[in-house]
Structures are given as C-alpha cells and as structure tokens.
Chain A
Amino acid sequence: CNSSLRMEPVPGLPLLPGEERVIDKEIIYMCPFSGALKGKVFITNYRLFFKSTDMNKSVLDVPLGVISRIEKVGGATSRGENSYGLDITCKDMRNLRFALKQEGHSRRDMFDILFRYAFPLSSNQSLFAFLNQEKFEENGWDIYDPVQEFSRQGLPNEKWRITANELCETYPSKLVVPCKATDEDLRKVAAFRSRSRIPVLSWIHPENQAVIVRCSQPLVGMSGKRSKDDERYLEIIREANGTSRLTIFDARPNVNAVANKATGGGYEGEDSYQNADLVFLDIHNIHVMRESLRKLKDIVYPNVEESHWLSSLESTHWLEHIKLVLAGAIQVADKVWSGNSVLVHCSDGWDRTAQLTSLAMLMLDGYYRTLRGFLVLVEKEWLSFGHKFASRIGHGDKNHADADRSPIFVQFIDCVWQMTKQFPTAFEFNERLLMVILDHLYSCRFGTFLFNCDSEVKTKTVSLWSFINSDQASYINPFYAVENGCVLYPVASMRHLELWVTYYIRWNPRVRHQHPNPMEQRYSELLALKAQYLKKLEELQLSDTAVHLSNSSAPPTHLTNSSASPTQLVTHLRTSM
C-alpha cells in the first residue's frame, strides 16, 4: 500500500487501531434517494468510506464484511450518464452503486482492491478481526462461563451432572447430562444422533425442575432403526423431574422430518418412545428463510413497495416465518412452565433448535432479558452449541450464492425484537443493542460471529461484547422494570407482528426514524426534573429548619428568595398541567 496515504488524516474518516488505508478514488455515488453524488471513496482494510463533496449530503461508512457481491456494470459501449461503474450487494439489505470514469483503469483497480479486501478468505488473506488492535477494559470473551451459568441455574444437582464434552466437536466443552447416564451410555446415544449431537440440558426451571434439552435428529433412516440406548436415555430425562410425558418438539414440518429418513435421519417414532409426545412445529429450512428475506429486500429496497404494501409483505412470508418460530418457542415455554420437560431438535440442532431454545429461555427466565444475560444467552445457545455462523453468513467468501448461507440468526434477533415490542418494559436492553449485534454479525471487526463453533479464535480476536460493554449506557432501555419469576408469552399473531422497519428499511430516509426516541427522551427529562425538585425540596426543608431554630417570629427571609425558584422551575416543566 501507499504509505503516504496513511500520513494525511481525512477529516471524518475514522480509523480503528490496525486499520489501514488502501486506496482513495474520485467517484460518483449513485444514491437511490438523493441521486448522483460526486465525492471521494476511501477504502481501508476494514471499510469503504464515501464522502460527498457537498458537505451537507450523506457519507457512507460500510464495513467491507457486509459486502456479499461486487459486480461491474456497464461496458465500454454503454451509454447514458453514470452507467459505467460498480454495483455492490450488501448483506444488510442494501445495494451500493458507484459510477466511475471509463478512462484509465480506475474501475478495475477499485474492483480488484474491493474484491481482495471484502473476500479475504478467497485469496488466503485473514479477516480484519485478526488485524484489529482495539483494546477494551473488559474482555468480552469472559462474559460466558458455562460452569458459572449452570450454577446460576442450580446445576449440578442430584439429577444432573456437568461433564466434559468428548463426543461431539460442534458442542461446547461442558455438557449437562443426567446423572443416571454413564459416559458409556452417552457414547451409545451419540451414535444414534446426527453428528453426535446428543440430548443435553440447556435450561432447568428453578422450581418444577422441568428441563429444556436440545439435540439433533435421531438416525432412524428408511429402515426405521431404533436405539435402545437413546430410548432409555430419553426415559432418564423424563424421569428426572417426574414428568409423565416427555414432549419432543421437532422444529420441522412433518413432511420434511419424514423426508429426512431418506438421508438417514428422521424422528422419534411413537412405538419406540412410548412415553413421549412428538409435536412438529412446522418451521421451514434455511433455504426457505433465505429466499423469504431476499423477497423482503425486493419490496423494501431501494423503494418501499407502494401500491400493495401489505399483500407484498405477506407474499414474502417473512413475518409468517417469524410467527411460526415464536409460536414454537411459546409452546416450548408453556410446556416447561407447566412442569413438563421437553426435548427440542430439528435436523442438526444448530439452526431452528437454537432459535427455539433461546427464545423459550427468553420467555421463561428474566435473567436472559438483562443486557448481560442476553449476551450470555447468545454465547450459550448460539456460539457454544455451534450455530454455523461462518457458513450461514459466508464471511470473507466470494461465493455469494452459497446454499449454506441463511439469515437464521437475523430471524432470531427479529423474534427478540418482536418480543421487546410487545413487552417494552421487560427487557433491560434496547433496540440499539439488537441493531449493533446485527451490524457486527457481518462486519468482521470482532471475532464473535466468525466461526462455526467454539475455536481458538478467542485468543486472537476482540469479542463484540468487549465493545458493547465498554458503552453499556447506550444499550440500556430506560423503561426496564425488573420482574422476576415472570413468564412472558408474546402473541404470535399477524395482528401484532410487524416489520422491523428501523432495521430493514433503515436506509430509506423517507421512512422517518425519530432519534432520539421521544419516549426515552421524555422519560429522561422527567427523571432530571424529579432529581431537581427533590434537591430543591431538600434545600428548602434544610433552610426551613434553620429559620425555625434561629427565630420563629421574624418574617422568614428565606421565603422571598426561595419562592422565586419554584416559579423558575415551572418554566422548565414542559408539561401539560
């Protein structure tokens, strides 16, 4: 790189420790809302930064990690103004279009550089997270300690033990399994579960001891194989709190579960598991979800579908999928709350299963609704249990059409957002936290969402939670009211589900987002007033007693002074009286 570039700082261009400028270019940004904007683009090893020459117009600050695809548009023969340039498809619901001069090699240069830095894995380079030198006070990697978290839940206890994971490479290092099951039993069960993802405890109800157990599908296959060990293992789980019937929630639609038999998978048969009830939750697979979000993007970007907004929204099925995921989690939570242990799986137990268990736990356990608790929940149910972030997001990989990509985690965060909308005082964190998590799901600035399962990444990268915890105040919901031991059931009906406009349509300036939130603003104003009045009252009372002590008959001089102040205060009270 050109070292002189690094020397002159550009006003407004932020640089992270470890971030280096690579190239600058005069360019035209084809903003879909304000039209063509002349300016300069700065590319670093972390971001694409565009500054318009017109100071009042927008700037772009896009981490290269969000780029999923770069295309050249317009050829040497193309006509029309600004038709020659680059089109960049982003993972965060937008496209960026730049127009360049045809002369020289400016487009080729920019394309090559963008390609190299946006898809480092495709050229054996490392992701920015490994170059990031940011330092934070708290090490976010320490936020989740499985032993500590299980002890918060009262584990181990006489029924459940914590064991080291030696069976499954996509599972966390510590597992909670029934005391009655020996390590040998576990090995046998592992042989009957897809990818050895055996049923392990995820959450236990503090009073009724009902548990949420998660796993992958049983390897039943076409021949309808059985495993006595698996059957006995599930019996042990059922007996642990005396549940008469164990409910098995299979997240998939019934037909898909049946179809899985062809590839060696399947579901727990009635005959084999006599004390279990099997419920299919009808949640579709990663491909359907990917397609659904793609359709959603089509109707919100760049312009919001006008004439038939509602039916277009319906035809994307995005909210319907959200409804099904939430409805599934509600059923899980309802069973557990009423004292029945449940087992949750899908095919591999790292996509739909993670959605269901984590959402059910959000409903059941107020701890996960705190800022810290939520981060623990994500670490626990998503990262430690091996949601395949690398494959689902496709970090630094040029294969934008990879069938492994799917917005499963986005869908989960959307479900959480729906819950915070329905229960605006039940969550300690605010919408901003969810937005920041999703932004850094793609950014590759932190190590948190980079890999498919727990790995050595922790020692070499910064955790997103370090960043978040360095500024906790901006993620706190001021309306949060602690309500312990309270189960929250959102209403999984289209009447209440709404599109998360502030996330999905945030690039459109015509859809107004009020910042700061008027409710929060009003609340903090009132809190400030309250503090002010309390202080004033205290002062008055103090001086009052002083006067009474000195001379009770003399006209109280302090009154003339202090009587002015409440009226002054009144002017500050911007309130309906």
Chain B
Amino acid sequence: MLSTLGGGGGKPAKPSFVSYVTPEEINQTEKECSRKEKHPDLLPGEVIFCSAGPVLKSIKDDLFQRVVYGTLLCTNFRVSFISDEAPSDEEAAQLFKNKLYGENDIPLTCVDHIYGGFDDKKKLIISGFVKNKYPSKIIVCCKDLRLFHFSLAYAKEEDAKKIFQGIVYHCLEPKSLKCVFAFSYGEKTLLNKENQTKPKTVMFDTSEDWAQEIKRTKGNCKLISNNADFSISAKLPQFFIVPTHVTQEDLTKFDGKGIPIWCWSHHSGCALFKTASLPLMQEDASSQLYKSYMEGMLNAVAQTHLYSVKTEELSDSLPTVQDIQQSYSKFKQFFLLDNTNDFWMTDVKWFSSLEGSCWLDIIRQCLAKAVEVVECLEKENTNVLIMEEEGSDLCCVISSLVQLMFDPYYRTLGGFQSLIQKEWVMGGHRFLDRCNHLHLKDKEQSQAPVFLLFLESVWQLQQQYPPAFQFSETYLTVLSDSIDVSVFSTFLFNSPHHMASIAKAMLEPGQRSPVNWPTVWDWSVQFDSRAQDFFINPLYMERSRQDKAPRKMPRPKHQRHQSLPSSAFKFSPSAKKGFLKDETDSLKKMLRVKRLSRWMNSPDSAQASTREFFVAWQRRPLDYHGLLLPCLEGPTLRLWSQRYLRWIPEAQIFGGGSITILKKLADLLAEVQDLRGNLDRQACRADFNHQGVVARAKSSIQLSSAFPFTMPRSRSFKPAIPIGPLHSLITDSLADQEDEENLGIV
C-alpha cells in the first residue's frame, strides 16, 4: 500500500482527481519493484489486445481512499486491472466469486460510459481518437453500477495511448455480433449438459415443453408446431400456442402480427394472450383488412372461455421504451458517485431526485397494469389480450408479472427461469437491440432496460412477500448483472429465429459442431455450488404436502355470469361492427350487455374497481402459495438497495443490513437439514448423500449490508458522518424560537 489518504472523519473527501501520491513516493516504488508483465487467468477463447503499466487504480476501502498499482489490460472479453498487491485469499472474498470476472474486471459489454480525466476536468469519451492530449485518467462507469478510476499518468506515453484507444475502441465502437466474446468462448468450451438441469429450467424450445405447459395450466388452446423452420413468421418462436379457433390460414396473414399468442390459462378456463398489434388506426386500404382480421382473432380469443375478451393496448397507458430508457439513465446516475462529497451532497435531496427520475413510478405503473389484468382473469374470468407494437416488450413485462402473481410455480427458482424462457427468450424480446451491446448507432434509439424493469418489479413483489419466493434478492441482482456479461445465449439475440440463423451461419464453413453458447441458467459457468447457495431464499416455504392437493376455489357459479368485463375493445367503434356474426343470438345478446357495461365505466371507476379488488383480496388471509397482489401505496415501493447501493462504501452498514437476519435463518436451515440428513442416515443405515442448499459462511466473516457483493476488509471503526449543506431545512420563525419561554437564569 502506498498511501492512505482522504475521506473519513467529518472532513469532506478530496475530489478523486487529485493525485494522492507524491512523485517521491512513485520513484521509490518504481525502484522497489521491477515490473513484471502480468496476465490474468484467461478464459477459453480469450485473447489480450493490449496492456499498460504501471496504472493506478484508486479505490475506496471502507471509506478511505487509496491507490493500488497494477497493470491494465484489454482483452476480447474484458477490461482487467491486475493489482500488484497480493490478491486477498480471504474466505470472504472467495465466497461469492464470479468465475468469469473478478472485482477488477469489467466485461466489455458491461461498460456503460467512459470518462477521460484531463487535469481536474472530466469529459465524456465517445471515440478513441483524441485531438490534442490523451487523458491521464480513465473513469469507467459500469452497467452493474461499479465505478473504476484508473490513472495512466505513470505509464509510458505510448502504452497509455494504446490502452486508452484500445479500451475505448473495444468498449464503445460499433462492432459485429461475431465479435462478441460469446462466440470465441463458445468455440472453446464444451456445453455442460449436466449442470443445466439444476434447477430444472424448461427451455420451451421443443413442442413437448409447450404441450406440458398447457397441460399444467389446463389450458384450452392449440399448439402450433409448423413454425419450426420459421415459415409462418420469423418473429414467432418455433412452437407456440394459439386459441383453438385460429385457423392455419389466419397464421400466415400478416407475418405473425395480430396472432394472439397464448401466455397462461387461469384455473377458471379464461386465458391471457399477447400479440403484436396491427396498425388499426391508419386510414388506408389495408386498415379495413386489419380490422376484420383482428375481429376474427378476438372472436377466437373470446371462444376460449365464456365468449368474453378484454383487450389492452399497452402503449396507451404505459410509458414507451424511450421513456423507460430516459428514466433509467437519470436514475442510475444517482449511484455512480465520484466521491464522498458527492454522496452527501446528493443525500439532502435524495427523495425528490428519486421521484424526479420517475423510475419507481414506472415500476408502479407496470405492477398496477398487471394487477388490472389479474383482476380481469380472477374476478371477471375474462380472457385478456394485451398488445403493443412488437408484442415483445411491455407485453413480456406484464404477462410475466401476471403469471408471477398467480402461479406459485413461477416463484420457484426453476419456474422463474422457465417463465423468462417462455415469455422473454421465446417471446422474442429483442435483448440484443434493447441492450445495444454492439453499440450500433442506429440502434441507440431502441436501447432500453425493459428486462431490468421486469426484474425490478419482481424485486418489489419479493420484498413485499419474502416467503413466497424460492429465489433470493441476491439471485435477482446477479441475474440483472448477467444481462451484460456477453457470454450467454439468453441475452444475446433478438429472437429465436435470430439465434437459429446465426447458429446456422456459423455451421456453414464446415465446422465440426454447433457453437456452444451457455445459457445464463447454467449458473455453474459463473458460480461454484457454494456461491449458488446464495440464490436460495431461506424464508421460502415450500407448500406442504397436505396443501399440495389441488384446491378448488369456492366460487359460486353464477358469479361468473354476473361479472362483466369492465372494458373491452378499445379501438374504433367501427371495428366492432359485425363482431361475432357467426355466433348464436343468445351470444350476441350476452355480448351486447357486456358492451353496455363497458361504456358506463369511466377510467376513474376502473381504478376504483382495481382498488376494491385489492382491498377484497387483502381481507382474505395471506396465502404465500396463492394469488399475490403488490401493495402500490407510495411508501411500499422501495429502492432495490442491494443492487444500487452495494458498491457505495458510504452507504454500507457494517455489521448490519437485512442480510444479518437472512444469514441467521440460512444457518439454522442448514443445521436443520443436516439433522434431517443425519436422521435419514440413522434410520436407513445407508449413506445419504446430503446436499446443503444454504450458504454456510463462517461466522467470522464480517457482514455488511452489501454482502455478498462486497465485504468489509477490516472492521471499520470510522463511521460515515454526513457532511454538507443543510440548506433544505427551512429557517422560518419557528426555527428562531426558544425551546422554552423563560430561560432559567439563576
């Protein structure tokens, strides 16, 4: 260690652009250690592009700012800093180690922004070509919200220039998909078939998976399996499910648009569908075609159950993907803080800043919309068709949230992963474009953290009902990080067709075998089994055997017929002309009643009805294995502090955080499981291969609220003391008053 400077105590920390090391110290160190070229442990297929040293990395260790010497490298996978200090071999550091990248590695696709430090100014870098002077510092902001400060001031000028250009080029410049590391990695690794089954994830890439799913939910729809060669549509998966009354002819009409894709069936028989909407509002020749086609599709959906359907054009009531991107860009800035000073300065207006970004509000809107859909399915037993332009963004968010709220299976680890496969991966969410990993200029407009928005909403549900989820908060955080690790096929493509065509193209030059891209669900790629124990929520209670018997909801039959949809087709009234003309008179009558009721409902009363639905649900005893509805009142939506605060030392509670309770629970759970294993052995006199599922970190490990992502190196006895202006506090007449009227002067 060279010097320990900066921050604690009551004094503001120096801004990080000041060099903390005097030149004398530098010279001394250079003499001391003759520099050796250092290499990281390269992954299969990984190659080094360039490197430079000595580079200084400034780090904030338990509130103290200091610098470490090392070498900075850029490979085809990551930017990596190799410290000259001996790596910490503490158990704590090894406990939750990611096998692909360490604390000093930044996967190239994880880089969000790069800033160049010129003297004491900082400039956003957009290109590797610099007119005058190369920056002496590189500041890398990561998508997982880590922040790195590297100083190139002591490296040879030539090296510094090279590494700067290299990093900027490989992180920010547009590139082709084949340059993504997954391709080099996939060529050199063998697919690990065994580990993929733990926990069991349904990939939905076979017709059996879909058949099984429709059987599980007792759905009443038909499986389409002749898109295996994507002849029906390149936008749809190879296998999918549609209402029984959709004909083969219907499928091939508008390149997949307008086809109601089955998502999930409610136990009453009604079901949730999603679709990419046809441009119905256009006033051209084709719009009439679209309208009558859509009527046919609605007819088909309605016939799934009780001839009822409610449609919801999500873009009418939810933010656009651009809104989502804009809001998140604002929001994430709050967590990329240069120094202690920034932390406390932004603390004063923290709540209004959060509100200003609208990010929590967008989460609320998504959850609220999902509750509305749940209400239709649960209370009114109406089929629901959600739609949006592509049918693969907010449709995915809403349909997955609805299913999570309804179906306890999706709240298990395997179930959750299967849900993401079904709705997102097979549902054709454009992961590649939404993440814009390739930094294509023409894709900048389509970049948006839609999947992250979903994970955020899941986190809100999870923190409101912790015992209902088999997976932990840590799991969600790791999953959100994995989006930006360019190794997994899960997040690499825009659709199943996209992936299939790339795979096919790779095969053509006469390769031996198809490329092996691991899916993110093969967690052994990133974590050993001990670290994977952190994915399990110790609060989760599996439904006991008695409860597992299928429960019939006591539901008076007449209620179904009485309940009417609160709203139905939203598009122009003319579209409804001739609707259901092939149906019997009685059906027509029934439908007319429903339409009438819809017109009487104003949007306000729809909201009131949803609130009533929530209150009625809330009055019933809470069943963690039944329907879950999120509470959406202001104070109940919270910041995902593990994800967003984990790297900020000032925000770390040493020896505290909810992890201290979870750890205790996990330890006790492990103990109970050991005892049971023992019992089984004793009883059966056989070797029982007991597998613990719980993290058994030794109690000597110092916990902090950021565990297991960061661990305090040493017990810090210096508290973080707020500094900064207290302007926000009013100084009105009240503040000037005395506490007591008369002062006791003796």
Interface residues of A (CB under 8 A from B): 190-191, 194-196, 219, 253, 255-256, 259-260, 263-265, 282, 284-288, 291, 304-306, 308-311, 313-314, 317, 319-320, 323-324, 327, 330-331, 333-334, 337-338, 346-348, 351, 403-404, 422-426, 479, 481, 483, 486-496, 498-499, 501, 505, 508-512, 514, 518-519, 522-523, 526-527, 529-530, 533-534, 536-537, 540-541, 544, 559, 562-563, 565-566, 569-577
Known: A264-B743, A510-B618, A522-B538. A494 touches B351 (CB 8 A): yes
Known: A425-B661, A518-B466, A519-B539. A511 touches B631 (CB 8 A): yes
- 13 A–B pairs (Cβ distance < 8 Å), ordered by A: A264-B745, A310-B354, A311-B355, A333-B719, A347-B743, A426-B656, A487-B717, A491-B651, A505-B635, A509-B615, A512-B631, A530-B668, A533-B676
* B48 sits at the interface (CB 8 A): no
Question: Across the interface, which residues of A come within 8 angstroms of B717, CB to CB?
Answer: 337-338, 487
Most buried by A among B466, B541, B685, B731: B541
Give the shortest distance, in Å, between B688 (CB) and chain A (any CB): 10
Known: A347-B739, A510-B618, A534-B675. A491 touches B653 (CB 8 A): yes
- Fill in one digit per residue for B315-329: 1 if any A CB lies within 8 Å of its CB, else 0: 000000000000000
Is A284 a contact of B735 with CB atoms below 8 Å?
Answer: yes
Is B673 a contact of A519 with CB atoms below 8 Å?
Answer: no
Known: A263-B738, A284-B735, A317-B729. A511 touches B636 (CB 8 A): yes
B650's partner among A194, A308, A493 (CB-CB below 8 A) is: A493
- Fill in one digit per residue for B516-556: 1 if any A CB lies within 8 Å of its CB, else 0: 00000000000000000000111111111110000000000
B633's partner among A190, A304, A425, A493 (CB-CB below 8 A) is: A304
Is A493 a contact of B347 with CB atoms below 8 Å?
Answer: yes
Is A537 a contact of B678 with CB atoms below 8 Å?
Answer: yes
* B744 sits at the interface (CB 8 A): yes
Is A285 a contact of B739 with CB atoms below 8 Å?
Answer: yes
Question: Across the interface, which residues of B come within 8 angstroms of A536, CB to CB?
Answer: 679
Complex-state Cα separation, A285 to B645, whole angstroms: 32
Is A526 a contact of B672 with CB atoms below 8 Å?
Answer: yes
Complex-state Cα separation, A270 to B641, whole angstroms: 43
- Fill in one digit per residue for B662-688: 1 if any A CB lies within 8 Å of its CB, else 0: 001100110111011011101111000
Question: Across the interface, which residues of A come within 8 angstroms of B502, CB to CB?
Answer: none
Is B682 a contact of A424 with CB atoms below 8 Å?
Answer: no
Question: Across the interface, which residues of A come within 8 angstroms of B539, CB to CB?
Answer: 518-519, 522
Complex-state Cα separation, A287 to B731, whole angstroms: 12
CB-CB nearest 6 A-B residue pairs: A309-B634, A489-B719, A195-B744, A494-B350, A533-B675, A310-B355
Known: A196-B746, A576-B470. A423 touches B656 (CB 8 A): yes
Is B633 a contact of A256 with CB atoms below 8 Å?
Answer: no
Complex-state Cα separation, A422 to B352, whole angstroms: 23
Is B673 a contact of A575 with CB atoms below 8 Å?
Answer: yes
Question: Across the interface, which residues of B come within 8 angstroms of A511, CB to CB?
Answer: 631, 633, 635-636
Could you say which interface size class chain B belongs to? 35 or more
* B660 sits at the interface (CB 8 A): yes
Complex-state Cα separation, A508 to B634, whole angstroms: 13
Is B726 a contact of A566 with CB atoms below 8 Å?
Answer: no
Is B656 a contact of A422 with CB atoms below 8 Å?
Answer: yes
Q: Which residue of A lies closest to B466 (CB)?
A: A518
Q: Which residue of A lies closest to B662 (CB)?
A: A519
* B720 sits at the interface (CB 8 A): yes
Is A496 a contact of B641 with CB atoms below 8 Å?
Answer: yes
Complex-state Cα separation, A259 to B743, whole angstroms: 13
Complex-state Cα separation, A492 to B722, whole angstroms: 7
Give the shortest distance, in Å, between B358 (CB) and chain A (any CB): 11
Is A571 a contact of B545 with CB atoms below 8 Å?
Answer: yes
Q: Which residue of A lies closest to B648 (CB)?
A: A495
* B737 sits at the interface (CB 8 A): yes
Give the shortest distance, in Å, between A526 (CB) and chain B (any CB): 5
Is B641 a contact of A495 with CB atoms below 8 Å?
Answer: yes
Given contacts A282-B726, A313-B351, A488-B655, 7 further A-B contacts (CB under 8 A): A319-B351, A422-B656, A481-B660, A512-B464, A519-B661, A565-B683, A575-B672
Question: Across the interface, which residues of B come within 8 angstroms of A259, CB to CB?
Answer: 736
* B467 sits at the interface (CB 8 A): yes
* B285 sits at the interface (CB 8 A): no
Q: Which residue of B lies closest to A333 (CB)?
A: B719
A510's partner among B466, B536, B633, B656 (CB-CB below 8 A) is: B633
Is B735 a contact of A530 with CB atoms below 8 Å?
Answer: no
Question: Across the interface, which residues of A come within 8 angstroms of B718, CB to CB?
Answer: 334
Give the shortest distance, in Å, between A25 (CB) and chain B (any CB): 28
Known: A422-B656, A512-B631, A577-B693. A287 touches B734 (CB 8 A): yes
Question: Across the interface, which residues of A come within 8 angstroms of B636, CB to CB?
Answer: 501, 511-512
Question: Across the interface, which residues of B come within 8 angstroms of A426, CB to CB?
Answer: 655-656
Is B635 a contact of A304 with CB atoms below 8 Å?
Answer: yes
Is B351 a contact of A330 with CB atoms below 8 Å?
Answer: no
Known: A195-B746, A291-B734, A530-B675. A479 touches B664 (CB 8 A): yes
* B626 sits at the interface (CB 8 A): no
Give the shortest distance, in Å, between B569 (CB) and chain A (any CB): 29
Is A310 a contact of B352 with CB atoms below 8 Å?
Answer: yes
Is B744 a contact of A526 with CB atoms below 8 Å?
Answer: no
Complex-state Cα separation, A563 to B685, whole angstroms: 9
Complex-state Cα separation, A95 to B174, whole angstroms: 62
* B177 sits at the interface (CB 8 A): no
Is A194 a contact of B738 with CB atoms below 8 Å?
Answer: no
Complex-state Cα separation, A510 to B722, whole angstroms: 35
Question: Across the interface, which residues of B come within 8 angstroms of A533, CB to CB?
Answer: 672, 675-676, 678-679
Question: Across the interface, which residues of A come within 8 angstroms of B722, CB to CB?
Answer: 323-324, 327, 492-493
Give the shortest distance, in Å, between B460 (CB) and chain A (any CB): 13
Question: Across the interface, which residues of A come within 8 angstroms of B719, CB to CB?
Answer: 330, 333-334, 489
Question: Across the interface, which residues of B come within 8 angstroms of A284, CB to CB?
Answer: 729, 735
Complex-state Cα separation, A16 to B149, whole angstroms: 66
Is B734 a contact of A288 with CB atoms below 8 Å?
Answer: yes
Question: Across the interface, which residues of B come within 8 angstroms of A571, CB to CB?
Answer: 544-546
Is A423 a contact of B634 with CB atoms below 8 Å?
Answer: no
Question: Across the interface, which residues of A come within 8 angstroms of B360, CB to CB?
Answer: 310
Is A423 a contact of B660 with CB atoms below 8 Å?
Answer: yes
Question: Across the interface, which residues of B come within 8 angstroms of A190, CB to CB?
Answer: 746
Question: Across the interface, which residues of A come within 8 angstroms of B283, CB to CB?
Answer: none
* B190 sits at the interface (CB 8 A): no
Is A310 a contact of B728 with CB atoms below 8 Å?
Answer: no
Question: Across the interface, which residues of B come within 8 angstroms of A323, CB to CB?
Answer: 347, 722
Is A510 a contact of B615 with CB atoms below 8 Å?
Answer: yes
Is B541 a contact of A574 with CB atoms below 8 Å?
Answer: yes
Is B542 a contact of A575 with CB atoms below 8 Å?
Answer: yes
Q: Which residue of A lies closest to B680 (CB)?
A: A566
Is A495 a contact of B684 with CB atoms below 8 Å?
Answer: no
Is B656 a contact of A490 with CB atoms below 8 Å?
Answer: yes
Is B743 a contact of A194 with CB atoms below 8 Å?
Answer: yes
Give the shortest distance, in Å, between B301 (CB) and chain A (any CB): 33
Give the shortest distance, in Å, between A364 (CB) and chain B (any CB): 12
Is A494 a contact of B347 with CB atoms below 8 Å?
Answer: yes
Question: Across the interface, which residues of A come within 8 angstroms of B741, CB to CB?
Answer: 403
Complex-state Cα separation, A310 to B641, whole angstroms: 16
Give the shortest distance, in Å, between B733 (CB) and chain A (any CB): 9
Known: A529-B672, A566-B680. A348 touches B740 (CB 8 A): yes
Known: A499-B635, A510-B631. A576 touches B661 (CB 8 A): no
* B614 sits at the interface (CB 8 A): yes
Is B536 a contact of A576 with CB atoms below 8 Å?
Answer: yes
Is B658 a contact of A424 with CB atoms below 8 Å?
Answer: yes
Complex-state Cα separation, A263 to B682, whole angstroms: 80
Give the shortest distance, in Å, between B338 (CB) and chain A (any CB): 16
